[in-house]
Amino acid sequence: MPNTKDPFGEDVSLLYPDNHGDKFTRMEEISILEVRTSSNVYFFKLANQNWSTTDYCYIETAARRHPDFNVYLINLIKEEPNRKSLNQSSINRTRLESKLNDPNNYHSSVSSPEDRLRQRLVFGNGNIRNINVSIDKFFKGSKLSKVAKQLDDEVLEIAAKAQLLWSVPGVALKPNMFCNLDSVKSFLCNSNENECLPDKLATIEPENDIQVTGVPCQAFMGFVVQEISRNKHNGKYTLKEALETYCPRLYYCPEIRILNSKPKCPTDGLNCPIVYSSILMHIA
């Protein structure tokens, strides 16, 4: 197990794998990352939010178009899952995969239809990781650990993304913005001959909540975490407000690259056979 203290002395053990050799341990218990690189894409939601079928189609298409990225589906839940139910749902990969791919067992396999779809995406795409994690575990040891459960949903989502990107670099965006990966992934590093040097700026598109960091402990992400931990922001708090506070002169902010508004992705040209097959199996 590597040192779980970051440069600021905070415990980020959640962000390291508990078991490098087993990708199919219980979803609620595996760590956020298996590979500590910036080639990560995070699709993030709260448990009381639902992704649509189209959202999952965007996600599967993103994974297929970008096989060089680890694609994480992160579901932040209020309470720690019941230990007894976790033990009962621990099934080996072969048995579970057989159930998930057998239409006769589709309705009797584990958990909700959404859970089953997420699992099918994991089994069908080698670069997708499915993470269910409680608020307590996600923020354990961080500056936000004592206030996270008091935050409203919008502020909680901002706090969680900032904490994640501050600890482990990557790209955080909404499913319907996935097509912008082609352009924003270039901000993860700067090419220098045959070497790719991590970009130290935070890249932000505030209108549609696209965030990119190429290095851990990036200053702006740390600022957002600090601001929310101090003020709680039980009312509204947006990336725009954070940017205005951190950078009063938005035309000159050496730590941040601010992008113009990006278009939402079209639905034509999507490539999501697992999502489509799951719909057909459900109808049948």
Q: What domains are there in the chain, each with its CATH number?
A: 13-283 (3.90.550)
Q: What does the pLDDT look like over 233-281, one tens digit per residue?
A: 666 788 888 998 898 776 678 889 999 998 899 999 899 999 999 886 6
Q: What predicted TM-score, i.e. pTM, was given to this entire model?
A: 0.78
* pLDDT at residue 250 in the model: 62
* pLDDT at residue 80 in the model: 65
Helices 53-65 and 113-124 cross at an angle (nearest 10°) of 10
Q: Which parts of the chain register pLDDT below 70?
A: 1-38, 80-110, 193, 232-235, 250-251, 280-284
CB-based contact 258:202 (threshold 8 Å): no
| CA geometry: angle 202, 30, 170, nearest 5 deg | 15
- C-alpha span between 172 and 43 (Å, rounded): 6
* pLDDT at residue 85 in the model: 42
- C-alpha span between 93 and 259 (Å, rounded): 42
* pLDDT at residue 98 in the model: 47
Strands laid side by side in the 40-46 sheet = 128-134, 70-77, 40-46, 170-172, 210-213, 202-205, 256-258
* pLDDT at residue 82 in the model: 57
Residues contacting 73, CB < 8 A, separation 6+: 43, 59, 118, 121, 128, 129, 130, 131
